[in-house]
Chain A
Amino acid sequence: MRKGFDILFPLLLGAVLLALWEWIVAARQIPPYVLPAPSAILQAFLDNFSSLMASMLATLRVTVEAFAAALIAGVATAILFSQSRLAERALYPYAVILQVTPVVAIAPLILIWVGFERINTALVLIAALVAFFPILSNTALGLKSADFNLMDLMRLYGASRWQILWRLQLPTALPYLLGACRIAGGLALIGAVVAEFVAGSGTATGLAWRIIEAGNRLQIATMFAALALLALLGVAIFAALSGLEYFLLRRWHESALKRPL
């Protein structure tokens, strides 16, 4: 029952707001280049369906590749940090600098270095840069959070540092990593959009580029359609990663368990 309402009420609210929007645009005769009605946006979406889908796939591909790259690099760096205090001390400040420097400011440089002829690599790199830090910092925190007594116990039984990493530290870090993935998934999408914006028209083919292009031609309805698709994509990524988190933690972690009372 509760669950039904959780879905029903937001949908209902959305429908009411859309109806209101439609009515205001019609009643006040707002021109479509200022604010198109929802019906016009839907029409634009249907008119450009195949090209919008192709754009969405392009953005999704960049996002997924960037996320995967950030995941591998983030976890690998966190493991390096957990194994070597020296590496952590030396590298961590640079990771922070990378994080706090706005990616929009680095993006043009990366585009020039990687080259417009390899635009896809450049986009993935920029988006991965945005998603990298939360994965690194959360995984590093998780690897450090292993139970001291279990650590002692493993040492007592002669465990190697790799056994401790594999059997204790990585499982301890898993909930932290999965939490970071949910954030990083969204950030990878934002990074992909920023990268497409910076790359500009004529090179990228994703949704962000569609938004710029439609804006240049004052096709505001198409802009809205692309924007809606981007939002949907973000929600889908978040839901997929939340589902993965639940699936992996459902048997043992507090976060995934329902209390019987």
Chain B
Amino acid sequence: MSLVTLANVGKRFAGGTEALSGLDFEVGDGEFVALLGPSGCGKSTALRLIAGLIAPDTGEIRWSGPRPEMGFVFQEPTLMPWAGALANARLPLDLKHVPRGEADERTAAALERMGLKGFDSAYPRELSGGMKMRVSIARALAAKPKLLLMDEPFAALDEITRSALNDDLLALAREDSITVIFVTHSVMESAYLSDRVLVMSPRPGRVTAEIALPPGPRDRLSAAFADTQRRVSSALAA
């Protein structure tokens, strides 16, 4: 069952450049979809459209049912430097006026799931890049989203941290059956994480290939995974 459908979506920037044109895809409930493409192909714009932060110029974004609770994770951790980890992750609940006690409890649980137990009062600048990203994900989880939008969340992290976060993210998404739309420019990441890869090409941004992947879990060292990566790579090159 599809959760969201983008039908013939187009978007122009203020300067007149076409960011997206004729963008068509749908994302199923509980699916993990990767949007893969080079920088400037409108991946982030597509994500912001789905989030409702900007409106499409043409086409439409259809939801099956009411708009679901959404979480957004940016490439930067995007934390408030003046607040500790708990206060940062609690932000969505604070904005919705969830009572403090309940909000603290839910947020602490989310931080603990991201492996940040004991860091409640740590300020962002006291945390490493990977830990900041974990706070950022915990913030998205605290709001109990049905749909998680991620915009190259691990692009700025080192390979080791990135692998660990990939595994944790997969586990969490499965456990809570969260639908994830994951923007990346890494073939390896898209092949490792997703059920389906949508390859995008720039000027104007649109989907040029769609690759359904065999169900996980995947082994980064296996021949099957190498083959998957090859398939995704060749679709990207085409």
Which A residues form the contact surface with B (CB < 8 A)? 147, 149-150, 152-159, 163, 167-168, 171, 174, 251-254, 257
Q: Which of B32-40, B87-95, B160-168, B189-197 contacts A (4 or more CB under 8 A)?
A: B87-95
* Chain A residues in 8 Å Cβ range of B81: 252-253
Partner of A157, one of B74, B82, B124, B143: B143
Interface presence of B18 (CB below 8 A): no
Cα distance A174–B80 when bound, in Å? 13
Cα distance A176–B82 when bound, in Å? 14
The contact size tier of chain B is 20 to 34
Looking at the assembled complex, report how far the CB atom of B93 sits from the nearest CB atom of chain A, in whole angstroms: 9
Does A156 lie within 8 Å of B80, measured CB to CB?
Answer: no
Q: Which residue of A lies closest to B75 (CB)?
A: A149
Does B53 lie within 8 Å of A150, measured CB to CB?
Answer: no
Cα distance A158–B72 when bound, in Å? 13
Looking at the assembled complex, report how far the CB atom of A217 sits from the nearest CB atom of chain B, in whole angstroms: 54
Which of B60-80 touch A at CB < 8 Å?
Answer: 70, 72, 74, 76, 78, 80
Does A158 lie within 8 Å of B70, measured CB to CB?
Answer: no
Q: Mark B124-159, 1 if CB is under 8 A from A, else 0.
A: 110000000000000000010000000000000000
Q: Mark B89-111, 1 if CB is under 8 A from A, else 0.
A: 00110111000000000000000
Looking at the assembled complex, report how far the CB atom of A251 sits from the nearest CB atom of chain B, in whole angstroms: 6
Q: Which residue of B lies closest to A257 (CB)?
A: B125
Given the known interface contacts A156-B70, A157-B143, A163-B95, the answer about A252 and B125 at a Cβ–Cβ threshold of 8 Å is yes
Q: A149-B74, A152-B48 are in contact. List 17 more A-B contacts (CB 8 A).
A: A147-B78, A149-B76, A149-B78, A150-B78, A152-B51, A153-B72, A153-B74, A155-B53, A156-B51, A156-B70, A157-B143, A158-B96, A167-B94, A167-B95, A171-B80, A251-B82, A252-B82
Looking at the assembled complex, report how far the CB atom of B219 sits from the nearest CB atom of chain A, in whole angstroms: 34
Does A159 lie within 8 Å of B123, measured CB to CB?
Answer: no
Interface presence of B214 (CB below 8 A): no
* Chain B residues in 8 Å Cβ range of A156: 51-53, 70, 72
Looking at the assembled complex, report how far the CB atom of A245 sits from the nearest CB atom of chain B, in whole angstroms: 14
Does A158 lie within 8 Å of B82, measured CB to CB?
Answer: no
Among A147, A153, A154, A251, max chain B CB count under 10 A is at A153
